[in-house]
Amino acid sequence: MAPSQDAKPKATVFVYGTLMESRVVTTLLGHMPSSEKAVLPGFHRYRIKDRVYPAIRPKEDGSVSGIVFDVTEREERIFDLFEDSDYDKETVTVTLEDGSAVTCSAYVWNLSAAEELYGAWDFDAHFAPHVDSYAVMCRDFIDDVLLRGLAPPAEPPAAWASPQDLEPSAEGYAGGAKRFSPAP
């Protein structure tokens, strides 16, 4: 599922949470796109109540470390579908390690569920213990999205990503057992 020779990167996306994990990205896209470390000034990375992934919101004295990916239109569409309705895709400016500024897209938590945000999210503490099961959830997600022809899923992946949904059960991963219903 690597991009074809004709698929040139057309978009730049800043990621700051679960999409910094190579297993998640390669599960969703089939490969790791070219990337660089970056910092997004003026934002804070929050924990979300009962979720293993983070959210960012503007905060005057904040900054968020992450990665900038160069992706194709198809890959950007997959990322767009992966993020649920609690996120808005916004244009932001990040600073690369060499000090240069890059304009790109980022998925910013909207205010519809602001009361669920608290504290500061840490990759190692809040996500690393769940990477393997999260990758299983991502495999189920991308299988269903590709089956739909990159159409939106009937149910957002956020419904799968609470810590209890990522725990193994007799039927498999609780979240992974919930499959998106096929498009009519």
Angle at 100 between CA 94 and CA 103, to 5 degrees: 40
Q: Which residues are catalytic?
A: 83
Distance CA(63)–CA(41), nearest Å, equals 4
State the maximum Cα–Cα separation within the chain, in Å, rounded to a whole number. Answer: 50
Distance CA(177)–CA(93), nearest Å, equals 38
Q: How far apart are the first and last CA of the chain?
A: 26
